């Protein structure tokens, strides 16, 4: 996510599903990929992938952290506590993805200085121990803001600074016993945006980040995805072939249709902020004229077009199948690092039905999954500061937990 409310995604790109499937060619193997690949080799990424079955995103924790010590401590100690991760484990989750803005650990990174701050590293390590201490696997996600990603795309020297950050941070991770290679994964870049639309530039950038992280952490499994906000089409259709490194897990994010999953999210753009009560799970022409009349006039035409399309698990399936077949062809594994629905103004039954459909598609195709998010507008846990955290039980059931 570009932010807690997924800013900067209004110009989202995706080719048609027909184009994606045609681009794969007739030689793609149509079979689940994990078993066949694992039988051929004991590559560490395939072995460790088993720890990424069911996860939650611990978001808004190490993003936009206050710079003063009191505010920093309040955020880190208050947002997620050890007992929260124990609760997640007891609910049936096996891993947590932590969204980390790199500037938290390197306060001058925006100026091109990747130097890690020792005091902040200690705070981060102590917080991550709350996760590993509960027996959960950990994904540390490099989650910069849009400005940082755009600067990376525009400046070769700045890309070098971010690569140096990865080299040094990965080296720190590799030296700390708490970040064991069997249970700690390093995700190199969350949701590259429109500025990385050039496929060749994106691939070259990711190759440099892979090399830098690998220099610091030779044995840890790295997580990478396609460009254009990590949409699944970009993994299959733009990236096309895997990177040379053999110890990777591939990721994509799924939020389609965005008019449903992002309704009411004002920070995602004025259009989404005006949406409320958008349904999901209906056949084409399933929105009545009365329902259309209830929408803001500025979005009514878009909602009419939305209603003319079918929304079902079957409509989602082709792109999941395409990713599965891509993995089968190249002996890779895939993990859905984000999926979710903003809860304010969204029909609750539809939110749960969509979540169930995505989770089932992940499991049918042998993808690991990590719901966005634990706490927040897309959260499994309801708003509030009481412990234990209040669970949306029907949503938990949609996750089959």
Is 207 in contact with 163 (CB distance < 8 Å)?
Answer: no
Lookup: tokens for 299: 């979005």
How far is the C-alpha of 204 from the C-alpha of 255, rounded, in Å? 27
Is pLDDT above 50 for 16? no
Q: CA-CA-CA-CA torsion for 131, 132, 135, 138, nearest 10 degrees?
A: 80
H or E stretch at 132: helix 118-132
Task: Show the beta-strand stretches assigned E in 188-243.
Answer: 221-225
Is 120 in contact with 75 (CB distance < 8 Å)?
Answer: no
pLDDT-derived band of residue 161, with 50, 70 and 90 as boundaries?
very high
How much is the pTM? 0.91
315-344: average pLDDT: 97
How far is the C-alpha of 76 from the C-alpha of 62, rounded, in Å? 7
In Å, what is the CA distance from 43 to each residue of 18, 246, 334? 33, 8, 15
How far is the C-alpha of 386 from the C-alpha of 56, rounded, in Å? 19
Alpha-carbon dihedral sign for residues 75, 138, 337, 374: negative
How far is the C-alpha of 136 from the C-alpha of 96, rounded, in Å? 7
pLDDT at residue 41, rounded to an integer: 56
pLDDT at residue 84, rounded to an integer: 98
Block residue for tokens 């599903």? 17
pLDDT-derived band of residue 268, with 50, 70 and 90 as boundaries?
confident
Q: Which of 205, 91, 98, 85 is nearest to 141 (CA)?
A: 98
H or E stretch at 321: helix 313-330
- State the distance between the two ends of the chain, measured CA to CA, in whole angstroms: 24
Predicted confidence (pLDDT) per residue in 21-45, tens digit:
333 333 333 333 344 444 445 899 9
In Å, what is the CA distance from 169 to each residue of 57, 104, 120, 231? 21, 12, 12, 26
Predicted confidence (pLDDT) per residue in 182-229, tens digit:
999 999 999 999 999 999 999 999 999 999 999 999 999 999 999 999
How far is the C-alpha of 205 from the C-alpha of 153, rounded, in Å? 8
How far is the C-alpha of 174 from the C-alpha of 400, rounded, in Å? 34
Report the chain's mean pLDDT, rounded to a whole number.
Answer: 91
Phi, psi of 391 (to 5 degrees): -95, 140
Q: Which of 223, 133, 219 is nearest to 178 (CA)?
A: 133
All domains of the chain in start order, with CATH:
17-257+317-398 (3.20.20.80)
Lookup: tokens for 398: 């949609």
Q: CA-CA-CA-CA torsion for 109, 110, 113, 116, nearest 10 degrees?
A: -20
């Amino acid at each position: 996510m570009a932010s807690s409310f997924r800013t900067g995604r209004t110009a989202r790109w995706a080719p048609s599903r027909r184009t994606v499937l045609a681009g794969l060619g007739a030689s793609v193997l149509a079979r689940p990929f994990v078993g066949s690949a694992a039988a051929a080799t004991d590559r560490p990424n395939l072995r460790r992938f088993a720890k990424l079955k069911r996860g939650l995103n611990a978001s808004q924790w190490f993003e936009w952290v206050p710079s003063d010590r009191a505010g920093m401590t309040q955020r880190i100690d208050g947002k997620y506590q050890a007992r929260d991760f124990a609760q997640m484990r007891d609910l049936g989750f096996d891993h947590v993805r932590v969204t980390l803005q790199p500037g938290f650990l390197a306060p001058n990174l925006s100026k091109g200085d990747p130097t890690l701050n020792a005091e902040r590293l200690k705070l981060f390590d102590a917080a991550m121990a709350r996760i590993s201490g509960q027996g959960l696997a950990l994904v540390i996600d490099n989650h910069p803001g849009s400005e940082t990603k755009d600067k990376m795309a525009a400046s070769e020297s700045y890309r070098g600074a971010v690569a140096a950050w990865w080299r040094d941070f990965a080296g720190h991770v590799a030296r700390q016993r708490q970040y064991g290679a069997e249970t700690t994964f390093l995700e190199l870049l969350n949701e590259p945006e429109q500025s990385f639309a050039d496929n060749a530039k994106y691939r070259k950038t990711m190759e440099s980040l892979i090399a830098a992280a690998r220099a610091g952490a030779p044995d840890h499994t790295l997580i990478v995805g396609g460009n254009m906000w990590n949409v699944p089409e970009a993994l299959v259709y733009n990236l096309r072939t895997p990177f040379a490194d053999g110890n990777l897990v591939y990721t994509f994010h799924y939020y389609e249709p965005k008019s449903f999953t992002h309704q009411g999210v004002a920070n995602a753009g004025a259009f989404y902020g005006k949406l409320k009560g958008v349904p999901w799970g209906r056949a084409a022409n399933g929105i009545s004229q009365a329902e259309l009349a209830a929408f803001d006039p500025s979005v009514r035409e878009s909602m009419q077009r939305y209603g003319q399309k079918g929304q079902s698990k079957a409509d989602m399936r082709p792109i999941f199948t395409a990713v599965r077949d891509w993995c089968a062809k190249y002996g890779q594994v895939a993990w859905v690092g984000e999926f979710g629905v903003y809860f304010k103004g969204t029909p609750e039954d539809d939110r749960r039905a969509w979540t169930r459909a995505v989770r089932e598609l992940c499991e049918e195709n042998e993808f690991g999954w990590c719901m966005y998010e634990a706490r927040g507008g897309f959260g499994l846990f309801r708003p509030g500061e009481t412990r234990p955290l209040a669970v949306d039980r029907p949503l938990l059931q949609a996750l089959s937990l």
